[in-house]
């Protein structure tokens, strides 16, 4: 739809593309945002999933940014009011293969039901404004977080063990 900012963030890994639409108006509200997952099926890119912030609200900007590595997608919502106004959050989804060996049949399940958020919990801290994902490691940028100077910025490194992400 108009003004969704579809493509405002993108990520590609093999035959899977993630496209953020951070200004998408959803049931959660205006500019709550969303992310689309496309898979290459029979030589054609097909929408595989439409991801939403599980507890979203207006102006969360879910879908800015996005990252993908293999069977894992990370989606930022750096305007989310997780612990303070616009403190930000990150949500991780994992591919649920349907056993057919065909990407077209796969779905994406939320792995972080509570989301990931800043330990500094600073209003407008920008947690989740930048992401990088590789294997079982996720780097999350919070470019405006009190560490130790005001608006100095912080990078959080998470590691996954099973389905749990820890710093």
Summarize pLDDT for 107-120 with one digit per residue, the tens.
Answer: 999 999 889 998 88
Closest alpha carbon to 117 in 86, 94, 95: 86
pLDDT of residue 77: 96
Enumerate residues 6+ apart whose C-beta is below 8 A from 45. 17, 38, 39
- Pair of tokens at residue 138: 């996720």
Number of C-beta neighbours around residue 30 at 10 A = 12
> pLDDT tens across 16-60, in order?
999 999 999 999 989 999 999 999 998 999 999 999 999 999 999
Contact 77, 66 (CB under 8 A): no
Inter-residue contact 139 to 155 (CB < 8 Å): yes
Do residues 66 and 75 touch, judged by C-beta distance below 8 A?
Answer: yes
**Paired strand residues for 49:** 37
Per-residue pLDDT at 54? 92
pTM of the model: 0.93
Q: What is the pLDDT of residues 49-102, one digit of tens each?
A: 999 999 999 999 999 999 999 999 999 999 999 889 999 999 999 999 877 767
pLDDT tens, residue by residue, 113-148: 889 998 888 888 899 999 999 999 999 999 888 767
């Amino acid at each position: 739809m108009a003004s969704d900012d579809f493509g405002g963030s993108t990520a590609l890994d093999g035959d899977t593309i993630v496209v953020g639409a951070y200004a998408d108006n959803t049931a959660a509200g205006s500019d709550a945002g969303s992310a689309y997952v496309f898979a290459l099926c029979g030589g054609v890119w097909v929408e595989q999933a439409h991801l939403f912030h599980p507890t979203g609200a207006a102006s969360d900007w879910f879908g800015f940014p996005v990252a993908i590595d293999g069977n894992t997608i990370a989606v930022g919502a750096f305007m989310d009011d997780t612990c303070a106004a616009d403190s930000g959050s990150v949500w991780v989804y994992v591919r649920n293969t349907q056993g057919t060996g065909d990407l077209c049949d796969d779905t994406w399940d939320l792995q972080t039901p509570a989301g990931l958020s800043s330990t500094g919990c600073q209003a407008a801290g920008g947690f989740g404004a930048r992401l990088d994902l590789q294997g079982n490691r996720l780097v999350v940028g919070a470019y405006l977080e009190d560490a130790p100077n005001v608006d100095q910025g912080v990078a959080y490194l998470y590691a996954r063990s099973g389905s749990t992400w820890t710093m």
